[in-house]
Amino acid sequence: MKMNHHYGELKASYLFVDIAHKVAAYQEAHPEKEIIRLGIGDVTQPLAKCVVTAMQDAAAEMGTKEGFHGYGPEQGYPFLKQAIQGYYAGRGTQLAEDEIFISDGAKSDLANVLGLFDVDNTVLVPDPVYPTYVDDNVTDGRKIIYGRTSQENGFLGMPDDSVKADIIYICSPNNPTGAAYTREQLKAWVDYAKKNNAVILYDAAYECFITDPALARSIFEVEGARECAIEICSFSKIAGFTGTRCGYTIVPHELEREGMNLNKLWLRRQTTKFNGVPYVVQRAAAAVFTESGMAEIQANLDYYRQNARVIADALDECGVWYCGGKNSPYIWLRCPGGMKSWEFFDWLLENCGVVGTPGVGFGECGEGYFRLTAFGDAEKTKVAAQRIKAAIQTL
């Protein structure tokens, strides 16, 4: 028996455990203080009413002889794939129905899609970034190169011809930096991928936050992307499905490597290793794209956008550099007073009773930076922003 020893190479992730310990210790020492959490990446607004109704109706249907659904198509029901097709077509991106695969969320597909590629491929991951990309490849034993980003390039890495990568991760709008690529910038990545015979794994989990028309909502808005990219998206942030679980992956027909068609491979993979997303969940997800669903969902997104604005305004007033917050729920700020990420965490907790996430927890290039999120309660976010402004102004 031989075990997968690559699991032993994973760096232990103490980030959120350390945060929880520090917050608990602070609360115990100061039971009278109200702590405001602006560190969470989870949504807080409830599901839209029409989503709940669709879920209830589907559940009732399942309890009838005529409406019962057993195993569904592994790649998702046509009604949901067609709704996603419409969502993309509405912004000018044409997809074939069989290029869309429904999943139980982006995190699963981000890991599962790697099964299409040999372990002897080099992976390019931006730093800082959503830590899952790194861990998924460490456990497979792939070589990882980090694309370092910084304030100078607005935390948006661009291709470097001296670097040879086979699998390229792009997360736009990025978690944790909130930075998002324009179509022109993404075109440079598409050109690089085609030149290097590489495949881009494009994580669009936060596309719904984009309002700036210069920014891409999908990699498939870029010419040539259909020959070199897979897009992974989620209902988690657009519609609060973090606990309901639904996502989708788009594998274009044109994507081929070594004579193998990736759409056909992914279909084979899904039909072999996956038995689909629950019917009730897919009905709930389809309701997101109805007229009333879209209106309700926009109201939730606007709630988070307003929170982001409140935090950004406070930082503007005290001259703190940040990116994100405009087309993203994340605000990525430079720690004031030259503080390091954890130093600022302690300072913020001590002086403001506010909890955020130290940037260094997302990669070395995050040292000296800090992530605040707009997913909190609006009133509490206002209080937190006031406290942060007042405290930073004393520095």
Q: Which residues are annotated as a binding site?
A: 14, 41, 71, 106-107, 130, 175, 206, 234-236, 245, 275, 371
Q: Is the peptide bond before 131 cis (omega within 30 degrees of 0)?
A: no
Q: Tell me which of 81, 107, 283, 389 binds ligand PLP, using CB under 6 A.
A: 107
β-strand pairing of 36-37 with 330-334: unpaired
Report the distance separating Cα 89 and Cα 248, nearest Å.
16
Nearer to ligand PLP, 83 or 320 (CB): 83
Structure tokens that stand for 88 in this block: 């993309």
Q: Candidates 102-110, 280-288, 364-372, 383-391 — which segment interacts with ligand PLP by CB under 6 A?
A: 102-110
Nearer to ligand PLP, 14 or 16 (CB): 16
Report the distance separating Cα 286 and Cα 238, nearest Å.
12
Report the nearest approach of ligand PLP to the CB of residue 81 (Å).
17
Nearer to ligand PLP, 320 or 331 (CB): 331
Which residues, numbered 240-279, are part of the site for ligand PLP (CB under 6 A)? 242, 247
Give burial (CB, 10 Å; 0-12/13-18/19+) of 345: buried
Structure tokens that stand for 147 in this block: 């694309």
How many residues appear in the chain?
Answer: 395
Report the distance separating Cα 215 and Cα 155, nearest Å.
15
Q: Tell me which of 87, 130, 209, 279 binds ligand PLP, using CB under 6 A.
A: 130
Looking at the DSSP assignment, which residues form a beta bridge with residue 102?
248
**CB proximity list for 222: less than 8 A, separation 6 or greater:** 183, 186, 187, 190, 216
Binding site residue list for substrate: 14, 41, 107, 130, 175, 275, 371
Report the nearest approach of ligand PLP to the CB of residue 241 (Å).
7
Strand 247-250: give its sheet, edge to edge: 100-103, 247-250, 229-234, 199-203, 167-171, 122-127, 143-148
Nearer to ligand PLP, 48 or 314 (CB): 48
Report the distance separating Cα 50 and Cα 46, nearest Å.
11
Which residues, numbered 30-89, are part of the site for ligand PLP (CB under 6 A)? 41
Site string for ligand PLP, 170-199 (x = CB under 6 A): -x---x------------------------
- Determine the size of the site formed for ligand PLP (CB under 6 A): 13
Report the nearest approach of ligand PLP to the CB of residue 203 (Å).
5
Q: Candidates 71-79, 100-108, 250-258, 367-375 — which segment interacts with ligand PLP by CB under 6 A?
A: 100-108
Report the distance separating Cα 129 and Cα 122, nearest Å.
17
| Binding region for ligand PLP (CB under 6 A) | 41, 105-107, 130, 171, 175, 203, 205, 234, 236, 242, 247
